[in-house]
Copies of this chain bind each other. A is one copy, B any other.
Amino acid sequence: MTSPKETAPKAPAQPPVTDRLLQQFTGYNLKRAYLVIETELHRILKDHDLRVTSFSALAIIVENPGLPQTALANALQIERSSTVVIVDALEGRDLIQRNKVATDRRAYALVATLRGRQMFETIAALIHMVENRIQSGLTDADRAVLTAHLRSIRDGGDTTT
């Protein structure tokens, strides 16, 4: 394998260079499949001036009204200090509010505004549409099998359901 053809012919400029090896990996196929959805996700979020982290924050706040910033940081797996910027931005756009907590005057209770909930619902619907379109080549049975397999990989083997 890998015959030493050290001499390069010309090398076209477009997308010629595919790395054969990486394509063998399931991880690579997984990534490529995920990238299809991620790209669509980015496109949708861009229309609403959100990045993935901001949208995740919004989603978490919508689904967990009243949580403090530290819990948000844990959920997003980022540092507390980094949430400040994100929360600032969401608050500045009137998508969420920092409410006072009666029992602990250090903490904030984060809640989504009506506007925030509406934007979240809108985006969620768009994502669902993308999902449906992308999965149009799969039957319901296929989809179930796929989900089971992904879960199996995620959990490190097993499942087989």
A120-161 vs B, Cβ < 8 Å mask (1 yes, 0 no): 000010011011011111100011011101111111111110
Pick the residue among B15, B71, B136 that contacts A17 (CB under 8 A).
B71
Report how far A133 CA is from B36 CA in the complex, Å: 26
Copies of this subunit: 2
Please tell me if A53 contacts chain B, counting CB pairs below 8 Å. Answer: no
Q: B117 and A2: CB pair below 8 A?
A: yes
Interface flag for A14 (CB, 8 Å): yes
Interface majority SS on A: helix, strand, loop or mixed?
Answer: helix
CA distance A59 to B17 in the complex (A): 10
Interface size class of A (residues with CB under 8 A): 35 or more
Binding site for B on A (CB under 8 A): 2, 4-9, 11-22, 25-27, 29-34, 36-38, 41, 56, 59-60, 62-68, 70-72, 74-75, 99, 101, 109, 111, 117, 124, 127-128, 130-131, 133-138, 142-143, 145-147, 149-160
26 A-B pairs (CB sep. < 8 Å): A5-B65, A5-B66, A7-B66, A8-B68, A8-B109, A11-B68, A11-B71, A12-B71, A13-B71, A13-B74, A17-B71, A17-B72, A17-B75, A19-B63, A20-B63, A25-B128, A26-B146, A26-B150, A27-B130, A27-B131, A29-B154, A31-B38, A137-B152, A137-B160, A138-B152, A149-B149
